Amino acid sequence: MSEADLVAAVHRLLLEHPDADPTDLLVDLAPLVTADRRVAIIGEVEARRSGLGALDQFFADPTVSEVMINGPGPIWIERHGRIESTEVELDRAEIDRLVERLVTPIGRRVDQRSPCVDARLADGSRVHVVIPPIALDGPYVTIRRFVLRTVELEAFVDGAGVGILCDAIATRRSVVVSGGTGSGKTTLLNAIAAHICANERLVTVEDAAELQLRHPHVVRLESRPESAEGVGLLTIRDLVRNALRMRPDRLIVGEVRGEEAFDLMHALNTGHRGCLCTIHANSPIDALRRLEGLAVMGGDGLPLDAVRAQLWSAIDVIVHVERGTDGSRNVTSIADVVDERLQERWPRVAT
């Protein structure tokens, strides 16, 4: 047997006989295996039982920001903003075991009735799993690592831009960070929030807790999906409404992507100035248009014109960040919202 076959065989026997000694099982299967190979095989077996098996090496690498499994075959990763294939390959049985280890400990279920599942690992990494029949070549597993680094504003924008953003925080202007997937929105939001005065109370609302605010007074709220029994759901909108009752000096929403946009807009227009949030968008004007659409969804029939007027009054600054072809993240625009139009404050300076 090959080493991989021995690992699989021992693991299979342990599933059937969990109290058995893995070393004894290995000796029974392959008595001529050398001591060094035996240690390596047992290590792989234990990784399968208690860790994430083949994924453990990627979780040990701080430069890996995303792990992607596209069905049987090689594992793909993102490192320094670039996607690359690895030499590690998984078969269907290995992926099925991995999915079980990912979702079972956190009380989630994935089956033909619920073929898609979102979850968060103990280290904060976000997991998305899709299984057949939805995943034609699946199962598909996408893991966004919790690798948010503490980065200063100067890493995103020059001194003039830093001054504009610090002034926006000091004068309690409401700031929206926009950008595409993986552009660095959360990291930039973290860097901007670092300039909030230490005597203020911050309440954060996130779908999956990622922010690492260097602040002495932070209250963190995280949404919760419904349980396997269909109960217990707490949405971002639920949490935004609760956060407003918690005496926040600043409300920080990790990502606006639903009807909570209306509640946030209402809060900004009723005394809760200086809030921060992120949104997926391709440009500052697209960010406002998307916020409009989301707010209309939660506005209980409020006309678009009324929502637009309130939204443009609520938002003060749009900061747009993009990821370069080299994997770098840079602010490309800082714009003020003035009289229902955008006024560019900081165009990107070519170097």
Angle at 79 between CA 78 and CA 84, to 5 degrees: 55
For the record, the structure tokens of 311 come out as 């939204």
- Burial class of 262 by CB neighbour count within 10 A (0 to 12, 13 to 18, 19+): buried
For the record, the structure tokens of 110 come out as 């994935």
Residue carrying structure tokens 């930039």 = 188
For the record, the structure tokens of 293 come out as 């659409």
Same domain, 294 and 330: yes
Same domain, 75 and 158: no
HEC letters along 78-112? EECCEEEEEEEEECHHHHHHHHHHHHHHHCCCCCC
- State which residues form the domain around 279: 153-347
Higher pLDDT, 281 or 207: 281
Same domain, 207 and 330: yes
Residue carrying structure tokens 């901007």 = 192
CATH number reported for the structural domain that contains residue 240 in this entry: 3.40.50.300
Same domain, 31 and 99: no
CATH number reported for the structural domain that contains residue 75 in this entry: 3.30.450.370
For the record, the structure tokens of 93 come out as 């049985």
Q: Is the pLDDT of residue 262 over 60?
A: yes
Q: Is the pLDDT of residue 350 over 80?
A: no
Who contacts 27 (Cβ-Cβ below 8 Å, separation ≥6)?
Answer: 33, 38
Q: Long-range contacts: 286-292, Cβ < 8 Å, 24+?
A: 286/178, 287/176, 287/178, 287/318, 287/320, 288/312, 288/315, 288/318, 288/337, 288/342, 291/176, 291/256, 291/261, 291/265, 291/315
CA Rg value for the chain? 24
Q: Is the pLDDT of residue 10 over 90?
A: no
- The answer to whether 166 touches 195, Cβ cutoff 8 Å, is yes
Same domain, 105 and 209: no
Strands 175-179 vs 317-323: parallel, antiparallel or unpaired: parallel
Q: What is the pLDDT of residues 134-180, one digit of tens each?
A: 999 989 999 988 766 678 999 999 999 999 999 999 999 999 999 99
- The percentage of the chain sitting over the pLDDT mark of 70, rounded to a whole number, equals 94
- The answer to whether 81 touches 182, Cβ cutoff 8 Å, is yes
Of 9, 32, 50, the residue at which a domain comes to its end is: 50
Higher pLDDT, 97 or 247: 247
Same domain, 57 and 173: no
Residue carrying structure tokens 């926009």 = 178
Who contacts 227 (Cβ-Cβ below 8 Å, separation ≥6)?
Answer: 107
Same domain, 199 and 242: yes
Q: Which of 8-17, 279-288, 297-306 has the lowest mean pLDDT?
A: 8-17
- The percentage of the chain sitting over the pLDDT mark of 90, rounded to a whole number, equals 50
Of 147, 168, 184, the residue at which a domain comes to its end is: 147
Q: What is the pLDDT of residues 171-182, one digit of tens each?
A: 999 999 999 988
Same domain, 174 and 238: yes
Of 147, 166, 195, the residue at which a domain comes to its end is: 147
Strands 202-206 vs 250-253: parallel, antiparallel or unpaired: parallel
Same domain, 262 and 181: yes
Domains of the chain: total: 3
Same domain, 335 and 300: yes
Same domain, 190 and 301: yes
Same domain, 162 and 234: yes
